[in-house]
Amino acid sequence: MNLEKLSIKEVHEKLIAGEISAVELCKFHLERAEKFNKTHNAFTTITNEFAVKQAEEADKRIKSGKNITILTGIPFSVKDVFSTKGIRTTAGSKALDNYIPVYTATVIQKLFDAGAVMIGKTNCDPFAFGASNENSGYGPVRNPWDRKRVPGGSSGGSAAVVAARVGYYSIGSDTGGSIRQPAAFCGVSGLKVTYGRNSRYGLFAMGSSLDTPGVLAKSMEDTAIVESIMSGNDEKDSTSSQRSTPDYFKELSKKVDFSKIKIGLPKEYFIEGLDKNIEKATIETAEFFRSLGAEIRKVSLPYTKYALAVYYIIVPSEISSNMARYDSLRFGMEKGEGYAERLLESRMEFFEPEVKRRIMLGTYTLSAGYYDAYYKKAMKVRTLVRKDFEKVFSEVDVVLTPVSPTLPFEIGEKADDPLAMYLADVFTVTANIAGIPGVSFPAAHIKDEEGKKHLPVGVQILGPQFSEELILKLAHSYQGKTDWHEKMPELDL
């Protein structure tokens, strides 16, 4: 039946028709999860018993014909930075190896309420600190297209399992590109919504003014289905938007009048060092939209050159504040006697190197004598970055850019150079700084230097605040021209 290749809508129809039960579907994907995890280390926890119980409940719903949604009985996974009541939640760090939350994150609870079946928690950089998924306390995740390479980060585990067709979608988080970049590295779709569109309640805080829950899936259609259910206002999150949420899935069926669409190509994203394959894929994607009738314009976002520096001042600063709660008393592993000793020793032993690095950077930029020179100035430039986008979006509807300056790199290639690693975020952090939505999708695939492995190439569309409907429709129009996964070779599983 090739269950793994079906869309959410197709699987839903088979469940409703009784061609397969939710329990059978769940066990099918649990088996795939176990197999994939042995070779790619993509899960921190596979929730066998919990998933089967959810699937049994889904079958009861379907049989009764009540409380059925398009996600009822559909298996999915969750990045291990979202709280799930009664289920081990590590945030990818050994510091929380034994942590069991007492509540479930709002976006995950909405999916549970819809009858979705969670098959596992996916591996990630610790507390979402990273761009390659190499920093995890549980070891690196491996890219499904080439095990020697990274899947991107910090939602690398989620991107990898979706690419491997383990479950039908995964929930990740994006603070500076942590959904879009791994989606590009693994050849799947990744949606970062407007800040406030999805509730942050229950998401482990990294950069509180930037964190955004989102969806990784095989297609825009699947992405739109999930986002329609998980988005919306949440009284538990004071930053949650009160705007009504459209049915993104239904909106995809409406034809786009491309003669009225203006797409910008910002010159600052086509920099020296940009991989030629990525540049070519981005230009060819723009030409595709031009062939449909869209107007393609060159635009400028001059403050983009400062965005990465701004991001790596603001984020460590907010990390320094947010990480204060992990004192080994309320959260974290216990080591040492007395509060001060326990605080120091537990952090020194159980916090991963990247966690320590970012706490120290943030503490420094917030310290007396440096706050005005670094953090305050960064916040001013953040406003200028946002105004850059506001100006450009008065000229064009969206902008089209590369997601990453490089293709997926080899595990360990940048491990000794944190600055080179941080540069992987250069094209994605701007969307978080400005609070705008972006969607990453596969635009091409190439062979590696040896001509053996196929590697995906992703591009992204960025739009004004709350333009998720538009960017999803544009990306869907592109993906509709070809079945990406049918054209790709078989995965290295």
Residue 65, Cα to own-chain centre: how many angstroms? 33
Other Cβ atoms within 10 Å of 324 Cβ, number: 11
Active-site annotation, residues: 79, 154, 178
**Starting at the edge strand that comes first in sequence, how are the strands of the sheet with 117-122 ordered?**
43-46, 117-122, 75-79, 169-174, 212-217, 189-192, 438-447, 454-462, 398-402, 262-266, 295-299
Pairing relation of β-strands 212-217 and 295-299? unpaired
Distance CA 182, CA 246 (A): 26
CA angle (224, 432, 257) in 5-degree steps: 45
Q: Cα separations (Å) of 62 from 1, 69, 228, 326?
A: 21, 9, 21, 42
Beta-ladder partners of 447: 454
Closest to 158 in 3D by CA, of 67, 42, 296: 42
Cα 200 to Cα 191: distance, rounded to the nearest angstrom: 15
The single residue listed with the structure tokens 């060819």 is: 284
Which residue carries 């999805």 as its tokens?
Answer: 198
> Hunting for tokens 């080994």 — which residue is that?
328
Cβ pair 111, 145 in contact under 8 A = no
- Encoded tokens for 179: 């959904």
Give the amino acid at 156: G
Q: How far apart are CA 200 and CA 203, in angstroms?
A: 5
Question: Which phi and psi (to 5°) does residue 82 adopt?
Answer: -105, 130
Long-range contacts of the stretch 57-65 (C-beta < 8 A, 24+) = 57/115, 58/15, 58/22, 58/115, 58/117, 59/21, 59/22, 59/23, 61/115, 62/15, 62/16, 62/22
Beta strands in 365-484 (DSSP E): 398-402, 438-447, 454-462
